[in-house]
Amino acid sequence: MTDLRKPTHPGEVLREDVMKPLGLTVTEAAKRLGVTRKTLSALLNCRASMSPEMAVRLSKATKTSPESWLYMQAKLDLWIAEQKLPKVEELGEVAIV
C-alpha cells in the first residue's frame, strides 16, 4: 500500500509552485503553453489528469522533465486505485526475469 496521505495533483503543483510565484494568469499561461484556457483551467483545478502532451509542454516551458510531471500523476492515480481496495486472489509465485 502507498502513503496514507493523498499525493498532490500535478495541476495544484503547477498552480501553487509555478504560476503564482510568476504572477501568471490562466489566460497568459495557456497562451504560452499553446493550449486553451479551458484545458489549463481543468488541470489547475484538479478536474483533469496530466497528459503526456501537457507534461511535454510544461517541461519545455519550465525546464523540467516531462517524467516528473507524469510521475506526480501516476502516484496520484495509484493512490486513488489503492483506496478502492480491490479484492483479488494471488496467482502464485512467479520468477520474473
10-83 placed in CATH 3.40.50.300: no
∠22-25-29 over CA atoms, to 5°?
80
The residue among 83, 45, 52, 84 whose CA lies nearest residue 66 is 52
Q: What is the pTM of this model?
A: 0.85
What does each of the 97 residues of the chain score in pLDDT, given as a tens digit? Answer: 546 899 999 999 999 999 999 999 999 999 999 999 999 999 999 999 999 999 999 999 999 999 999 999 999 999 999 998 878 888 888 888 7
Other Cβ atoms closer than 10 A to 77: 13
Q: What is the pLDDT of residue 34?
A: 98
